[in-house]
Amino acid sequence: MKSKSPFLLLLLFVCNVHAQNTASLVIQSKSDHTISRHIYGQFSEHLGRCIYDGFWVAPSLDVPKKDRIRLDIVEALKKIKIPNLRWPGGCFADEYHWRDGIGPRDQRPKMVNTNWGGVTEDNSFGTHEFLDLCELLHCEPYVSANVGSGTVEEMAKWVEYLNFDGVSPQSTIRAQNGHPAPFKVSFWGVGNESWGCGGNMTAAFYADQYRRYATYARNYPGAPLKKIASGASDFDFNWTETIMKQVPVNDMWGVSLHYYTVPQTWQDKGSATSFDEKQYFTTMKKCLLMDTVVTKHAAIMDKYDPKKKVALVVDEWGVWTNVEPGTNPGFLYQQNSLRDALIAGSTLNIFNNHSDRVRMAELAQTINVLQALILTNKEKILLTPTYHVFDLYKVHQDAAYLPITLNSPAYKSGNEEIPAVNVSASRDSSGAVHISFVNLNPKEKITVSTSLDGVQWKGVTGQILTSAKFTDVNTFEQPDKIHIVPFSGAKKQGDKLVVELPAESVVVLELK
């Protein structure tokens, strides 16, 4: 047998490299549902500097504010159109008693935040302050009620306090506290992580508790509730099975799910800023497991709810690393790198592609905690790479979901591999099509050839978020190191869209 010529070997090598760096995508024009804007929700717990020294600042701090709500943060969040805000927790929710946070502030009792740092809070930020914040943000409140250490009566009276438009003991107190009209809060979480910090319950016990609490959480005229059951962590499929089996579908609007991307282990999560490509790959692999987690929980829900009436609510997700050196370990303050942005883009693509079932989600957390959108340092704020992803992806909110078929090259590390590219697509009310791409490969650009079945378009524009290294971050000294810039690497070739995705990048295109 003759050996292959050097030219032929070179040709085979070039063809193999080309195949490795090429993806194919088909986008269908037919849509049967929308991508709910509530997928782009945020989570703000009484934890570290998220509420106090985040949203709610000292009167002496020289920044624009209304009461003590920091307005530069409000304006930044309005720009990305956050649709909802979850509060007061998290684990904190199941030790929070709402009556302590109403009335004259100088008369409110102090409390110890036993979950997060053992700090004493003065309850100056309570129900009215939270709802004032939501009004400024033009977003819907999502209240998590206390099931772990609270009572049925306590939750029932909180609902009455916020939603009843008439004469009652709770509405009278609300009026005395300056708000005669009802707030009409729709989204209510019935407990949080009831399998863990919310009471260490079994699934069967919690299901019974949910039915009991939900019974007394009343729908007052003009204020129907969307009640959300405390759902599973990660791969606990039995929890979802039990909830769906024991709670009637019509008794809940949604079931929650929590999944965090932890780069190493829960005992030593890894650094937010100092990691090599091997750990980068492992982190991305764990991020993409969100697709598996959502798929399997959704399949269980389909057995009991084939019409998909109940939403899967991923109300805690994001990257969880070790805290920044020298900071309070109970405050969960971490930096935010390009890696976080790629994880945010990939996760949101997963939610978009499961938007028939995933109709609500909340990133953990909005300010100064975990995968935050915004970091603060006294008068300064900075927008993280993750913030910029939400800015890019806001075009998907309430847009028609467009089904995709993607054939992606692999991104390999040793004997492991993951898809290098992930994508989602939608069509907005004006008819414009938006496609969000993420290239996870930190070294190779990838060409994506896209067929648009039944989509009529004439031109394409785009924006990109990337940086030289996946460890790059925005700092208070250099707040715009990673930011959105125009993208010109997409063009029309015949009836196809061809996109050159740079390494480690998030790209969003608009076709008109």
Active site members = 193, 316
* Cα distance between residue 262 and residue 412, in whole Å: 20
Q: What angle do CA 358, 209, 139 make, to 5 degrees?
A: 40
Tokens read off for 347: 């996760």
Tokens read off for 348: 């949101």
Calculate Rg over the CA atoms of the chain: 24
* Cα distance between residue 219 and residue 184, in whole Å: 10
Q: Please name which of 112, 108, 2, 107 lies closest in space to residue 46, comparing C-alpha atoms.
A: 112
* Cα distance between residue 46 and residue 112, in whole Å: 11
Q: Please name which of 18, 138, 3 lies closest in space to residue 78, comparing C-alpha atoms.
A: 138
Per-residue CA distances from 78 to 42, 54, 57, 81 (Å) = 12, 16, 19, 5
Do residues 188 and 176 touch, judged by C-beta distance below 8 A? no
Tokens read off for 499: 């996109």
**85 Ramachandran zone, left/alpha/beta (phi>0; psi -120 to 50):** beta
Tokens read off for 376: 């603060």
* Cα distance between residue 201 and residue 203, in whole Å: 6
Q: Please name which of 180, 193, 66, 49 lies closest in space to residue 134, comparing C-alpha atoms.
A: 66
* Cα distance between residue 15 and residue 12, in whole Å: 5
* Cα distance between residue 177 and residue 368, in whole Å: 30
Q: Is the dihedral of CA 468, 474, 478, 483 positive or negative?
A: positive
Q: Please name which of 49, 47, 67, 68 lies closest in space to residue 58, comparing C-alpha atoms.
A: 68
